[in-house]
Chains A and B, each alone.
Chain A
């Protein structure tokens, strides 16, 4: 989506009246386009003014709500302390840079080998190797990208093909205290017959059935590979399932993002 197309929709975006598909596209655009981001910010301020125009509810909320809010936040602090790091400038083109670097990084190679392995134990070992290596590679990549945050926790999913499908893939989420969270979904070795199912849409599934679209892989390269990267202005810590669907909505691959301890954390 280019700037004129985005600006055409920014007012509706600020008003929350766009379909999810358009909202995602605009979020991706304003993440790197400073001019559109400025206008989006102005319009969101106007939308907030509309919010404050609502008459105070009578009666107000239950008096216990304040305590519930305080306790809910404090429980979350105890479960997962957030490190306070000043917002990073120059972070906005990170996703595009990381995407380009990942495309040549070999990330996901283990999943390809798993798909080609003759024996199940070989496949399992290849998947394990991929799990151990991919997050480390990702962190190394982040350390080289200006504006990226290597201080976040990296969680990994190995994507397995649907019952009769082939290929494999990897997915990463970076849950960061200081920059926008990021998700990377990479598919590899998709058989040629299945490549006709493009475009492929990668989504994250979270609590209460909430879905987030990471992006659409329009087509795969000659080796059946494709990648999509997106940063999010929301916490990805609760999104644990990755699903890749073809153009008909059929599940092509899926995987579960490691929950609990991250696979790769910053070195103290």
Chain B
């Protein structure tokens, strides 16, 4: 982080080597174009530099911090572009790939993430995906599916906690 703050070439490249691809991939999924995803990636690293002094490893992992920045910036961008008060995210594929070991997965972070998602039922995965990747609120899901709002909120929360617990103690995320 000190290297990033100082603009150290090696430090920035090390951070990019580890997180550039996941940030870009998330950007492409949410924003839908290579150009937007590349702009987002650049904005994420600039924002990380601006906030680097405030990053406290005692309160969260670097990966969580960076991906939260990436998701927030993508949502901000969509809100600006669409002029709506909540994100209308581009749907590339609604549900993450079927869980399981992907032989072609080269990123250990993704492997850990997929293992965490394995703990969810298909319905739970679909639910959190509709919120995270499509920006649907609990109310909208409730209305679309004809399920009580409280039930949707409870399911969202329990699914998120399940994912978090599945990843507990892991060093990757």
Contacts and interface: CB of A to CB of B under 8 A. Distances in A.
Contacts of B102: 55
A178 B85 contact: no
Contact of B63 (A14, A18, A48, A62): A48
A78 B7 contact: yes
B126 interface: no
Nearest to A88: B54
Interface string A153-184: 00000000000000000000000011110000
Contact of A66 (B13, B107, B138, B160): B13
Contact of B53 (A53, A87, A237): A87
A96 to B, nearest CB: 19
Contacts of A177: 53
Interface residues of B, number: 82
Interface size class of A (residues with CB under 8 A): 35 or more
Q: Could you tell me the dominant secondary structure of chain B's interface residues? A: helix
A83 B68 CA distance: 23
B41 A54 contact: no
Contacts of A41: 59-60
B157 A10 contact: yes
Nearest to B93: A55
25 contacts: A10-B157, A11-B131, A11-B160, A16-B71, A17-B137, A19-B86, A42-B164, A48-B67, A48-B173, A49-B167, A53-B96, A53-B114, A54-B96, A57-B24, A62-B38, A65-B42, A66-B16, A68-B38, A68-B42, A72-B42, A77-B7, A85-B53, A178-B54, A233-B54, A235-B47
Interface of A: 8, 10-12, 14-21, 41-57, 60-62, 65-66, 68-70, 72-74, 76-78, 82-85, 87, 177-180, 208-210, 233-235, 237
**Most chain A Cβ neighbours within 10 Å, of B12, B114, B161:** B12
A148 B30 CA distance: 36
Interface of B: 2, 4-7, 9, 12-13, 16-17, 20-22, 24-26, 28-29, 34, 37-38, 41-42, 45-47, 49-56, 59-61, 63-64, 67-68, 70-72, 75-76, 79-80, 85-87, 96-97, 102, 105-107, 109-110, 112-114, 116-117, 128-129, 131-133, 135-138, 153, 156-157, 160-161, 163-164, 167, 173
Among A19, A78, A237, the one with the most B-chain Cβ atoms within 10 Å of its Cβ is: A19
Q: Is the interface of A mostly helix, strand, loop or mixed?
A: helix
A150 to B, nearest CB: 15
Contacts of A178: 53-54
Contacts of B9: 70, 74
Given A17-B86, A48-B63, A78-B7, A65 B173 contact: no
A8 B149 CA distance: 11
Nearest to B74: A16
Given A49-B173, A235-B51, 8 more contacts: A16-B135, A18-B86, A20-B86, A57-B24, A65-B20, A66-B13, A69-B12, A74-B12
A49 B117 contact: yes
Given A16-B72, A66-B13, A74-B7, A56 B107 contact: yes
B70 A45 contact: no
Given A16-B71, A74-B9, A83 B53 contact: yes
A47 B68 contact: yes
Contacts of A55: 25, 96-97, 102, 105, 110
